[in-house]
Structure 1
Amino acid sequence: MGKPYLCPNCKTNKTRFNLIDQVPHAVKLDPQTGDIVEEYEQDTLSPLHMSYKGPERKVQCAVCGLVEDERAFIKRATYMMKSNGLTQ
């Protein structure tokens, strides 16, 4: 079951969002041209290449355009529900 969202910026949008799935691509670039020299799989990264540790999903408010981690929208909705005396 999903969790309710509320935009932490405009504080009015509870229904219209863009869900952005983050798909990292580990690459090595040529420093002069910016061309991709090598692509890595997550299980075969070179010792000097740190794996992506960011969120799997980001959310964009389709009203004001704010892009944030999903948990920011969930936390704002939870806070508003608690402050209004509503429980999940």
Structure 2
Amino acid sequence: MNLSLENRTALVCGGSSGLGFGVALALAKEGVRVCLLARNPAKLELAVERIRQAGGDAQAIVADLNDSAALDTAIQQVRASTP
């Protein structure tokens, strides 16, 4: 399925596992650069590696959604890394 999302960037919260990872992987397969946000750095790195092995472009962002300052910083990271 082609959703015409190539060269876009998506921030996927909870992207290191479960439904969040599934969404990130599906988006990456559509040509979206995915930024995975979660609290566990080790799980995030594994998720990023799995997406890259599938041919996708992914980046890990460690943050806790309960921390509004950390979330603001994460959004700034995504914006700064978007071509």
Higher relative strand content: 1
Which structure carries more relative contact order (alpha carbon 8 Å, separation 6+)?
1
What TM-score, normalized to structure 1?
0.21
Structure number having the greater helix percentage? 2
Q: Select the structure of larger CA radius of gyration.
A: 1
Task: Give the structure-2-normalised TM-score.
Answer: 0.21
